[in-house]
Every structure is written in structure tokens, then in C-alpha cells.
């Protein structure tokens, strides 16, 4: 087996790559507006009620109309997943992993089509879409290999005349609930981790990006996934989500999304319902309020570049986005000035145009929420860039910078999930780290400094799941920077890490005497 290496990012300055992407776009444009059914037990189920997925850069353009699951269909899907579990759990781990490897190969061949679909359905600029597709491939390649590593369990001590084994066995039916912001990577990664471990899955993708999820299930089918192993049931979170979270046959839930929904799931899933004979396991990866800390003896150009990239990549709609920067006093004016300059250089518009650095935000609700936060920000700090938007054709918010904020300001505490960054001063490095730790979240953080002592101080004291030195705080890579956060950012499951698959399994000890 070839050792795992992450999928390289595409260099779009090369003509061939640019043309390949444009070809992908043509493929996607040819299937825009189609209808998509649910997939339950491998059967296509069409409903009259539809979720309409549209292009956030152009509200008029429909990406697809997707059948909408309800309680009855969710129940049907549960029965099918329960049935499929009886056989899938006995399929050899090598065979399960092969489905992932083959799926990775299929996606690699259709890479630019998938990226172009993400541009259309999620509003991702080319490089962001390319990174999302690459990450989906990485999850398939990495989790397949992780499963192979675990297939014979772990070594145990045995005494003379005794043979002890420690084996991992699957859990059962898992409900996978995914967000729209890594509409491909997180949806695919959370699904296949559960599946390769021998579980069967009910996948409820985000309602804004259901088409890419459908295309992915088709890939799994082509790669040899048996019927009923992953069931595709998009539908309203409040109806389908609650129903499946409460269901006594649900063995585990793998959720990625906001803190509010994550906590609701945590509460509901802890309740034992009639007929339930286990405690449900919950993996919940939630929001962030991530900070770049800038030291006075750091590279200040790198600092400004890192703040801007972390804040505005994919319009700030990454859970890892750096939405606050805390800058040691002596460096504050210089960094602020450069952040303003760099922000004003950013281009914004339809992401099908390769020249646009930023595309739209995902939908009208998100647009409104971000604009409301910008209004709050105007009362809390000094608006120095952006501050406006345009939702006439798509949902565009200009990259926005607020300066001179108080550490307890709402825009320094609450997740905005849009292109808004708040800057503030600290009197020294230690105070900057204290401020960085002052939210309820603990997902990512970045530190720019050339002071070794300060790096070591941050390594110990900056309480986040993913801490980055002398770079921005986004862009974790599967198998390189495993991802997951502390405190209200979730259960720190570390997606793309060596312990992730084990969260979807239970260990069984057997001890035999000879
Ligand atoms: P969201 O919480 O609104 O939705 C996530 C998913 O939950 C969707 O599929 C939604 O339909 C579903 N859902 C809604 N109500 C539900 C309910 N009652 N029961 C079950 N499911 C329900 O989040 P979003 O807007 O899709 O994504 C953005 C959020 O996700 C941000 O907070 C971001 O920080 C977070 N996020 C975290 C990570 C991470 O790894 N920590 C990664 C990506 C996104």
C-alpha cells in the first residue's frame, strides 16, 4: 500500500489546470436544476416536497431540487440501516477500506467537476473548492488506511496458558449530520469514518448543500458500497434530525455544525428512550471564535497577511476562521494599517470568476445575521474597512475590519461566521494569550512571534485544539493537523487523526485459557 500523503492542491496559474476546472464547470452546468431522490436501502425515493438548492452568488440559479425526508422516511431509512448492519459489520475491514480507496480514485478523476459543483452550490472560490475536494479525497485515503491499521486490534499481554485479545468491533447505526461549509469534505469524512468502521449510516446533509452529498453517495455506490450501508436522507434538522437523534436504535451521532444545534443534540441524545439498550455515543464538532495573537517581535508583514487570510478565506465561513486578532501594543498601529491595506485589495464577486478572492455567503439568513453583527460592531469598535454588503443578486458581504475593540465586546465573543474580523490591543504577550482564551470556545488559534519563550508559553497556555505558529489559523490537513476543538467547540474528536476511527467502534476483550 502506498503510504498516505495528502492530495496536492491545484495550481491554477497553469493553463491545463485552469482548463480542467472550466471543463468541470461545463459538466456541472449541464446538470444544474435536476431533481434528486432520497436513497434508502439503495432504492431511490422521490417526494413531492423538495429542498431547493440554489447558487448563493446568483439566487436565480437552481443547483438542484432534492427530495425531502420526513419522519416516516427517516424511520424507513433506520430500518434499512439496521438490516444492512447485520451483514456490513461482518464484511472484512480490508473490503470496507477498498470501497473508500476506490471512491477516492473516482473522485480524483472527477476532481474539478466536484470543485466546480462546490463553487456553484456553496459559493466557493476555485482554490477553496479545490481544497474542499482534496480534503474529501484525503479523508477517504486516510481513514481507509487507519482502519487497516486497527483491523487486528491492539496487542495485549498474556500470561502462560492464556491468550488475550483486544479487538475493535463496530457500534451499529450512526446518524451523521453535516454542515454546508465543507459541504464535501466534512460530509464525506464523517460518513466514511463511520462506514469503514463497519457501521451503517443515516446521512442528513445540510439543507443548503444537498446536491454534492447526493453525487458523493453515487460515487460510493460505484465504488461497491452495498445497499443500505449509507442512506441519504436530507430534510429539516428540526424534524428529521430530532427524530433520528431521539431514536432508540441510533447507536451514535456524528455531528458537525453550530454550538446551538450541537448542545441540543447532546441533551436529547443523553435521554434514554423506550426500547433503547445503550447510551448513545456523541461526536460533536462545533463553532469557534478563533484568535490570531501578534507579538511585537514577530514578522509583522506575515502577521497582517495571516490575519487577513484567516479572516476572509471563504468569506470567513470556516469554523477555523480567525475572527479576532489580539496585537501587542507596540505592533498594533503598524499591523492594523497593513491589515486595512490588504483587506482593501481583496476582490469579491461571483466565484466562477477565478479572479475573485471572495465569493458570497451561503444564504439570506446568513447574510442578515452577518449584517446585524456589523451593526453591533459599529457600536462597539471603529469600522476601518468594509461594513457593507449587497444581496440583490447573491449574498455578498464586503470584508470588514473593526479596530480598537474591548475583549468582551459581542463581536469579540460570538461566532459571526462571515467576513468580519475584530482587532484589539494587549499590553504584552501574556495579556494577549489571556484575551485569546477568554471565550467559551477553543477551536483554533495562531501566534506570530520570533520569541521562542513566547512560543513555548503559548504552547502550554493557549487553550485551543489546533494551535498554529507563524502562520494563519485555517487550513488543517488530514493526517497532518488533525482537527477538533476544546470547550464549546466540541468533543475534540480530531477528525483526520489517528484516534478518529476508534470513536466509531467499541473495544472487546477476549481471554482464553489453553
Ligand atoms: P448548523 O448547526 O446550523 O447545521 C448543521 C447541521 O445540523 C445541518 O445539517 C442542519 O440541518 C442540522 N440540524 C439543524 N437542526 C438540527 C436538529 N434539531 N437536530 C439535528 N440536526 C439539526 O450549522 P451550519 O450552519 O451548517 O454550519 C456552520 C457551523 O458549523 C458553524 O458554527 C461552524 O463553526 C461549525 N463547524 C464546525 C466544524 C468543526 O470541525 N468544529 C467544522 C465545520 C463547521
Active site residues: 285, 319
Burial of 346 (0-12, 13-18, 19+ CB in 10 A): middle
Instruction: Give the global pTM.
Output: 0.98
The answer, yes or no, to whether ipTM is higher than 0.95 is yes
CB of 180 closer than 6 angstroms to any ligand 1 atom: yes
The rounded distance, in Å, linking the Cα atoms of 295 and 431 is 11
Alpha-carbon dihedral angle through residues 204, 205, 207, 213, given to the nearest 10 degrees: -130
CB of 264 closer than 6 angstroms to any ligand 1 atom: yes
Residue 72's nearest CA partner among 35, 43, 40 is: 40
3-state DSSP assignment of residue 268: helix
DSSP states along 222-266: HTTPPTTSEEE----IIIIIHHHHH-TTEEEEEEES-HHHHHHHH
CB of 178 closer than 6 angstroms to any ligand 1 atom: yes
Q: What letter does residue 296 receive in the DSSP assignment?
A: T
CB of 233 closer than 6 angstroms to any ligand 1 atom: no
Burial of 260 (0-12, 13-18, 19+ CB in 10 A): exposed
CB of 146 closer than 6 angstroms to any ligand 1 atom: no
**Local confidence pLDDT in tens for the 514 residues of the chain:** 899 999 999 999 999 999 999 999 999 999 999 999 999 999 999 999 999 999 999 999 999 999 999 999 999 999 999 999 999 999 999 999 999 999 999 999 999 999 999 999 999 999 999 999 999 999 999 999 999 999 999 999 999 999 999 999 999 999 999 999 999 999 999 999 999 999 999 999 999 999 999 999 999 999 999 999 999 999 999 999 999 999 999 999 999 999 999 999 999 999 999 999 999 999 999 999 999 999 999 999 999 999 999 999 999 999 999 999 999 999 999 999 999 999 999 999 999 999 999 999 999 999 999 999 999 999 999 999 999 999 999 999 999 999 999 999 999 999 999 999 999 999 999 999 999 999 999 999 999 999 999 999 999 999 999 999 999 999 999 999 999 999 999 999 999 999 999 999 999 999 999 9
Give the atom of ligand 1 at the shortest distance from the alpha carbon of 238. Answer: 18
Q: Whose CA is nearest to atom 39 of ligand 1?
A: 285
Segment 330-359, tens digit of pLDDT: 999 999 999 999 999 999 999 999 999 999
User: What does each C-alpha distance from 290 to 78, 82, 386, 422 come to in angstroms?
Assistant: 37, 40, 20, 11
Segment 263-296, tens digit of pLDDT: 999 999 999 999 999 999 999 999 999 999 999 9
pLDDT of residue 1: 87
Distance 260 CA to ligand 1 centre (A): 8
Rg of the chain over all Cα atoms, to the nearest angstrom: 23
Distance 261 CA to ligand 1 centre (A): 6
Amino acid at each position: 500500500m502506498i503510504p498516505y500523503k495528502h492530495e496536492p492542491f491545484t495550481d491554477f496559474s497553469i493553463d491545463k489546470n485552469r482548463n480542467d476546472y472550466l471543463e468541470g464547470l461545463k459538466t456541472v452546468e449541464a446538470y444544474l436544476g435536476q431533481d434528486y431522490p432520497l436513497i434508502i436501502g439503495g432504492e431511490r425515493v422521490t417526494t413531492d416536497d423538495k429542498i431547493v438548492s440554489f447558487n448563493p452568488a446568483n439566487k436565480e440559479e437552481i443547483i438542484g431540487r432534492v427530495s425531502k425526508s420526513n419522519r416516516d422516511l427517516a424511520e424507513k431509512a433506520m430500518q434499512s440501516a439496521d438490516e444492512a448492519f447485520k451483514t456490513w459489520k461482518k464484511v472484512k475491514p480490508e473490503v470496507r477500506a477498498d470501497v473508500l480507496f476506490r471512491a477516492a480514485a473516482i473522485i480524483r478523476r472527477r476532481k474539478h467537476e466536484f470543485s466546480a459543483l462546490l463553487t456553484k452550490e456553496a459559493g466557493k472560490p476555485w482554490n477553496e473548492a479545490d481544497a474542499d475536494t482534496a480534503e474529501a479525497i484525503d479523508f477517504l485515503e486516510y481513514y481507509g488506511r487507519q482502519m487497516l491499521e486497527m483491523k487486528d486490534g491492539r496487542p495485549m499481554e498474556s500470561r502462560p496458558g492464556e491468550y488475550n485479545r483486544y479487538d475493535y468491533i463496530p457500534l451499529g447505526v450512526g446518524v451523521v449530520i453535516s454542515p454546508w461549509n465543507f459541504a464535501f469534505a466534512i460530509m464525506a469524512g464523517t460518513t466514511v469514518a463511520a462506514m469503514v468502521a463497519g457501521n451503517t449510516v443515516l446521512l442528513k446533509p445540510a439543507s443548503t448543500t444537498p446536491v454534492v452529498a447526493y453525487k458523493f453517495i453515487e460515487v460510493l455506490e460505484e465504488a461497491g458500497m452495498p445497499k443500505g450501508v449509507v442512506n441519504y436522507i436530507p430534510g429539516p434538522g428540526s424534524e428529521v434530525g430530532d427524530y433520528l437523534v431521539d431514536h432508540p436504535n441510533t447507536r451514535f451521532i456524528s455531528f458537525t455544525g453550530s454550538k446551538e444545534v450541537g448542545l441540543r443534540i447532546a441533551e436529547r441524545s443523553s435521554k434514554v428512550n423506550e426500547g433503547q439498550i445503550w447510551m448513545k455515543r456523541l461526536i460533536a464538532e462545533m463553532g469557534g471564535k478563533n484568535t490570531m495573537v501578534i507579538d511585537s517581535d514577530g514578522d509583522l508583514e506575515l502577521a497582517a497577511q495571516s490575519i487577513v487570510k484567516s479572516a476572509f478565506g471563504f468569506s470567513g465561513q470556516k469554523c477555523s476562521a480567525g475572527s479576532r486578532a489580539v496585537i501587542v501594543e507596540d505592533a498594533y498601529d503598524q499591523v492594523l494599517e497593513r491589515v486595512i491595506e490588504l483587506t482593501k485589495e481583496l476582490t469579491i464577486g461571483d466565484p466562477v470568476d477565478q479572479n475573485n478572492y471572495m465569493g458570497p455567503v451561503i444564504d439570506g439568513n446568513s447574510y442578515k445575521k452577518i449584517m446585524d453583527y456589523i451593526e453591533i460592531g459599529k457600536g462597539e469598535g471603529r469600522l476601518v474597512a468594509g461594513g457593507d454588503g449587497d444581496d440583490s443578486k447573491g449574498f455578498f458581504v464586503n470584508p470588514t475590519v473593526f479596530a480598537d475593540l474591548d475583549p468582551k465586546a459581542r463581536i469579540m465573543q460570538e461566532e459571526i461566521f462571515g467576513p468580519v474580523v475584530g482587532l484589539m490591543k494587549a499590553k504584552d504577550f501574556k495579556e494577549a494569550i489571556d484575551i485569546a482564551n477568554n471565550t467559551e470556545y477553543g477551536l483554533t488559534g495562531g501566534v506570530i512571534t520570533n520569541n521562542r519563550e513566547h512560543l513555548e508559553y503559548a504552547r502550554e497556555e493557549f487553550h485551543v485544539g489546533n494551535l498554529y505558529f507563524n502562520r494563519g489559523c485555517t487550513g488543517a490537513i488530514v493526517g497532518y493537523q488533525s482537527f477538533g476543538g476544546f470547550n464549546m467547540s466540541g468533543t475534540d474528536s480530531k477528525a483526520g487523526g489517528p484516534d478518529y476511527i476508534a470513536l466509531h467502534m467499541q473495544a472487546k476483550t477476549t481471554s482464553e485459557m489453553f
